Amino acid sequence: DVKVTQSSRYLVKRTGEKVFLECVQDMDHENMFWYRQDPGLGLRLIYFSYDVKMKEKGDIPEGYSVSREKKERFSLILESASTNQTSMYLCASSLRGSGRGEQYFGPGTRLTVT
């Protein structure tokens, strides 16, 4: 079974702090994704990586950056956390071109910025 793990299930940070969310997958997937999930808005793509050191902006990249130094690990960085970044963050991975897009998700990190 594909396993996608996220470093924290719940996180509370203060406004202005630098926040790191880590995601690790164990199935050698090329693609990795970061989404945020808000009630009534579904999932919105923040960033996408299709290979080590490669990244592509999603629909809402402002205020976020990412890092992919190793194939299995994809980090989301909030440079200076703000209260409007309070949300559920979901990481996902997929094989390039396989199954036309089927993604495997981690359990999510619920981030609260106070």
Partner 1 sequence: AQSVTQLGSHVSVSEGALVLLRCNYSSSVPPYLFWYVQYPNQGLQLLLKYTTGATLVKGINGFEAEFKKSETSFHLTKPSAHMSDAAEYFCAVIKYSSASKIIFGSGTRLSIRP
List residues near partner 1 by CB under 8 A: 4, 9, 31, 33, 40-43, 45, 48, 50, 58, 90, 92, 94, 96-97, 99-103, 105-108
DSSP labels, 2-43:
--EEES-SEEEE-TT--EEEEEEESS--SEEEEEEEETTTEE
Do 50 and 4 form a contact (C-beta atoms < 8 A)? no
Q: Which is nearer to partner 1, 48 or 64 (CB)?
A: 48
- CB 36 to partner 1: min, Å: 11
The whole-angstrom separation of Cα 103 and Cα 108 is 14
Which residue type occupies 16? G
- CB 41 to partner 1: min, Å: 6
- CB 91 to partner 1: min, Å: 8
The whole-angstrom separation of Cα 105 and Cα 44 is 14
Q: Which is nearer to partner 1, 40 or 84 (CB)?
A: 40
Q: Which is nearer to partner 1, 53 or 99 (CB)?
A: 99
- CB 16 to partner 1: min, Å: 28
Q: Which is nearer to partner 1, 82 or 112 (CB)?
A: 112
Token pair, residue 35, equals 């989404």
